[in-house]
Amino acid sequence: MAYVLEFVDELDDGDSVFEHSGVKVIIDAKSLVYLDGTELDYVKEGLNEGFEFNNPNAKGECGCGESFNV
């Protein structure tokens, strides 16, 4: 499985909306079971910056942190 961030134009039935500090994250119903409890953070380390996922459901991840298995 892979983490994919995209802009959402319309909510679909069953989408879950989470908001924190004015930022909304929308997760479709099919993916929610795999992402339940996941923490999303924006990290800057030297010249590198980007989103970091801390997913308690992941049994393994690739080296870049963009994909995982459960």
H or E element, residue 41 = strand 39-45
Stated pTM of the model: 0.72
* 24 neighbors 35 (Cβ within 8 angstroms): no
* 35 neighbors 53 (Cβ within 8 angstroms): no
State residue 44's pLDDT score: 94
pLDDT band of residue 10 (cuts 50, 70, 90) is: very high
- Considering only the top CATH level, what class is 16-69? mainly beta
pLDDT tens digits, 13-69: 999 999 999 999 999 999 998 888 989 899 999 998 988 888 888 877 766 656 777
Domain ranges, ordered by start, for the chain: 16-69
